[in-house]
Amino acid sequence: MQSLVNGFRPYLLLTLLVLAVALPGLDALPPMDRDEARFIQATRQMAETDDYVVVRFLDELRAKKPVGIYWLQTVAVEVFSHPADTRVWPYRVPSVLGVLLAVLFTFRLGVALFDRRIALVGAAILGTALIAVVEAHLAKTDAMLLGLTTVVLTGLGLVYMQGRGGTAAPSWVPLVFWLALGMSILVKGPVTPMIVVITGLALAAADRSFGWLNGLRPVMGVILTAAVVTPWFLAVSEQTGGAFLTEAVRGDLIPKLIGGHESHGAPPGYHALLVSLLLWPASLFLWPALARAWRERALPGVRFALAWLVPSWVMFELIPTKLPHYTLPLYPALALLIAVTLFAVRDGTYERLARLPARLWYTVWGVIGVALAGVMIAVPVLHGDGVGVWPVLAALGALVAVVGGLWHAFRRRYLNALMAGMVGAVILHASVFAGVLPGLSDLWVSQRVAHAADVHAPGAALAAVGFHEPSLVFLMGTDTVLADTGVAAAEALASGRVGVAAIEAAATDAFIAAAAERGFAVRPAEVVEGLNYSRGKPVRMTLYVPE
């Protein structure tokens, strides 16, 4: 292993690993509702209108997130595609880069906190984690936030270790720290600054010292971060009369802090319950690693990782609104704590990993893996074309991880167990995104409606009643009309704004009658049935064109 951790080799290996799990299916997976489709449609409108200040979805002000991710996606689209193109993969490029950034900087931080072997394993754990691979395939803020947060915390960690007598932090650290912090604010507001502040306070409380923070040059840094974020905040406030920031705080941030916003409420413990799945396959050693980290919390590297992980995790558990990806910026710390545990061969850790509690957990982990394999077979039967090559490969990948991981774990070959788990995970991830998910035809209602519209009314805009998912807007274009009633759809058709209408069953009679009243007849061209997975309800849309 020593030859793999020297020079540029770790960075090359980790880059290849991220590409192996992130590129398969990047274009095959249709635009996902609802968040991703809203992001990519808002980015398209930004490029179409050359308005790079105010974010909108159709005519609606979209103030849930700052502008940063839209800028990054716009650059990717201009480089690789065109706003009129409905290929989604260019919009996902920043997410792939965000995960790659996180993995590479996790390695750099791991070198400073521990050593190069631990750093390589920890970075590989992050790169193969289920949640990281999922976010790499979605054109949202979370993968890039993960990358920027890891860059910021790497800078903080390098300066901290310098203050604890470690190697001097490189001269670039303060500049990169404050620039990345400013960019993170433009991507997702206060999330990264909150994590940084909480981590710094936890370290100051544990060490009873915060003088090491001077290594970040805070006076210069605050000015630099302000220079990054202030121009856009001033511009958007001026163009919207303050409405953008008001809506972002009152309509999005505060509701998440005081209640389960948009039906995403959950009790404390939600994230702890999910982490075993989201960190899979490295969650094989999750709980033993956390127990070992707490015992060794006096060690500077472990202390820094715990300060990054524990207080912020508690904060996310206490916030009423919860989604699985909220704790993603904390996963690099988890990955490094697992890696350092697997190299702790002289402090009794391996004996603890062989005890009954750990073995019971390995069994639970194996059940999770077998369940994943079962899902890979069952879901295509329920919502696709049945079991084919891709579902079988995905299920085999999960079983390779389970069998290999448990075989080695029960024989006290823990690094081998992790490697086996990661090999199986790569097979699983690649198969899921390249073939399993794209093959779930029942779920891709928007894609099928758009295809039918292109067949029966090529180039025409569409009016939709009863199915208003953002993916349909992206696939059909910004001229799409989301009508509330059949009458409104008939009016759009009569006026020439659209050339085809997709109408749900409940609105069909009103639509046909309204069309007749306006002096034209319509005929059904095609019926599309499927599952609206955003609502968990079946959907039946009939496409109508004028006679």
User: What is the tens place of the pLDDT at every residue in 461-501?
Assistant: 999 999 999 999 999 999 999 999 999 999 999 999 999 99
Calculate the average pLDDT of the chain.
95
What is the four-CA torsion angle of 60, 63, 67, 73, rounded to 10 degrees? -50
Task: Report whether pLDDT(98) > 90.
Answer: yes
When mean pLDDT is compared across 4-13, 61-70, 177-186, 194-203, the lowest value belongs to 4-13
Structure confidence at residue 258 (pLDDT): 78
User: What is the tens place of the pLDDT at every residue in 283-302?
Assistant: 999 999 999 999 999 999 99
Structure confidence at residue 346 (pLDDT): 80
Task: Report whether pLDDT(79) > 80.
Answer: yes
Contact (CB, 8 A) for 467 and 502: yes
Task: Report whether pLDDT(260) > 70.
Answer: no
Q: Which two tokens stand for residue 325?
A: 């990806």
Question: Quick one: which of 213, 211, 137, 144 has its CA closest to 180?
Answer: 144
Contact (CB, 8 A) for 27 and 212: no
Q: Which two tokens stand for residue 292?
A: 């070992």
Average pLDDT over residues 23-36: 95
Domain ranges of the chain: 2-258+274-342, 354-441, 444-546
Task: Report whether pLDDT(84) > 70.
Answer: yes
Structure confidence at residue 251 (pLDDT): 77
Structure confidence at residue 261 (pLDDT): 62
Q: Give the separation between CA 368 and CA 391, rounded to whole angstroms.
A: 17
Question: Quick one: which of 271, 294, 384, 275 has its CA closest to 341?
Answer: 294
Average pLDDT over residues 12-36: 96
Which of 3.40.190, 3.40.50, 1.10.287, 3.40.1710 would CATH assign to domain 444-546? 3.40.190
Task: Report whether pLDDT(263) > 70.
Answer: no
Task: Report whether pLDDT(262) > 70.
Answer: no
Average pLDDT over residues 369-394: 95
Average pLDDT over residues 40-62: 95
Structure confidence at residue 152 (pLDDT): 98
Q: Give the separation between CA 311 and CA 198, rounded to whole angstroms.
A: 7
Structure confidence at residue 441 (pLDDT): 94
Task: Report whether pLDDT(151) > 80.
Answer: yes
Identity at 124, one-letter amino acid code: A
Share of the chain above pLDDT 70, in %: 99
Question: Quick one: which of 263, 266, 262, 421 has its CA closest to 338?
Answer: 421
Question: Quick one: which of 538, 505, 496 has its CA closest to 524?
Answer: 505
User: What is the tens place of the pLDDT at every residue in 426-437?
Assistant: 999 999 999 999
pLDDT category at 6 given cuts 50, 70, 90 is: confident
pLDDT category at 81 given cuts 50, 70, 90 is: very high
Structure confidence at residue 173 (pLDDT): 97
The alpha-helical segments, DSSP class H, found in 81-190 are 89-113, 116-128, 130-136, 142-163, 173-188
Q: Are strands 537-546 and 522-532 parallel, antiparallel or unpaired?
A: antiparallel
Contact (CB, 8 A) for 335 and 282: yes
